[in-house]
Amino acid sequence: MLNFLLQRLATIVPTLFFVSVLIFGLQQLLPGDPAIALAGEDRDPNVVAYLRAKFHLDEPLPMRYGYWLAGVLRGDLGESVRIQKPVTELILEKLPVTIELAALAMLIALVIGVTAGVISAVKKDTAWDYAANVFALWGLSTPNFWLGILFILLFAVQLGWLPASGYVSPFEDLKANLAAMIMPAFVLGNAFAAVLMRHTRSAMLQVLSSDYVRTARAKGLDERTVVLKHALRNALIPVITLGALGLGELLGGAVLTEQVFSIPGFGKLIVDAVFNRDYSVVQGVVLCTATAYLSLNLLADLAYYLVNPRMRH
């Protein structure tokens, strides 16, 4: 176990190093003097001078990277030029909203995706299977911001069942929070449900044709027990890894969903930062998502290791 963990960490550390180089390198894409670009539209000479000193812009590139990395390792991601707040603070403020959105979306995707995958595998080549495949294609091909607009049109404008936008903290009013989150969560989870359905279907098909499932059937177990207890349990193992990796993709999709439903989360933070030319915030958000993605990946590997005894040998 320890060996396995160390092995995985040994690949993650260099990856994180490259992630940091990549994100630091983004700054170099800015045309002209980065201090002027970073100072935003006002170009206040005081701010420019402050930024030049803060980012050590007069020093060579590797030195600047060193200073930046040292800051990041101390948890200092820089300061938002626009809101004049540390980036770390801004991210910590917005992150819980997005985590709630992504977690709800994941839950919806798992319920729909796994159920549809199991049904289409068990009822292969029937109308059910066909319908599930059509659903998967629909999910993969629909831009989630469009689906969001259609949902607002139907459920908020036409039927008046749900609020069109806005966010209420779950600690203030849980019911209002869920009412505001259910549409965005569904919209965000839709595409991932399609991915999960396809993977569950192929994993189930493989497991259902294996010897131990035939044995279980030969023992006279009813089909329900065979499918749910014997087949699904094993078919779900690869789905765990996929779920963890999907959470990273959901963070990306959340940018658009939050924009459509005006949810003040992580995604809205990066979009606002892009338009305010608040580049430290953009870098901070990318760094956080990448770190979250790699950590989730590590957790998924560990879960895989714990669930699957064959991995231990």
The residue ranges that bind other proteins (CB under 8 A) are: 11, 14-19, 21-23, 26-27, 29-31, 137-138, 140-143, 145-146, 149-150, 152-153, 157, 248-249, 251-253, 255-256, 259-260, 270-271, 273-275, 279, 282-283, 285-286, 289-290, 293-294, 297
Residue 156: CB minimum distance to other proteins, A: 9
In whole angstroms, give the CA distance from residue 39 to residue 175.
42
DSSP per residue over 156-187, as a string?
A: IIIS--S-SS----TTT-HHHHHHHHHHHHHH
Residue 97: CB minimum distance to other proteins, A: 16
In whole angstroms, give the CA distance from residue 102 to residue 167.
15
Would you say 79 or 258 has its CB closer to other proteins? 258
Would you say 33 or 223 has its CB closer to other proteins? 33
What angle (nearest 5°) sits at the alpha carbon of residue 181, between those of residues 159 and 299? 150
Would you say 146 or 212 has its CB closer to other proteins? 146
Cross-strand pairs, 79: 86
Residue 153: CB minimum distance to other proteins, A: 5
Residue 105: CB minimum distance to other proteins, A: 14
Residue 159: CB minimum distance to other proteins, A: 12
In whole angstroms, give the CA distance from residue 103 to residue 250.
9
CA dihedral 278, 283, 285, 287 (to 10 degrees): -170
Would you say 108 or 266 has its CB closer to other proteins? 266
Would you say 167 or 293 has its CB closer to other proteins? 293
Would you say 235 or 254 has its CB closer to other proteins? 254
Residue 221: CB minimum distance to other proteins, A: 30
CB atoms within 10 A of CB 65: 16
Residue 11: CB minimum distance to other proteins, A: 7
Place of tokens 């892009």: 274
Buried b (16+ CB within 10 A) or exposed e, 181-219: bbbbbbbbbbbbbbbbbbbbbebbbebbeeeebeebeee
CA dihedral 15, 96, 198, 203 (to 10 degrees): 70
Would you say 83 or 221 has its CB closer to other proteins? 83
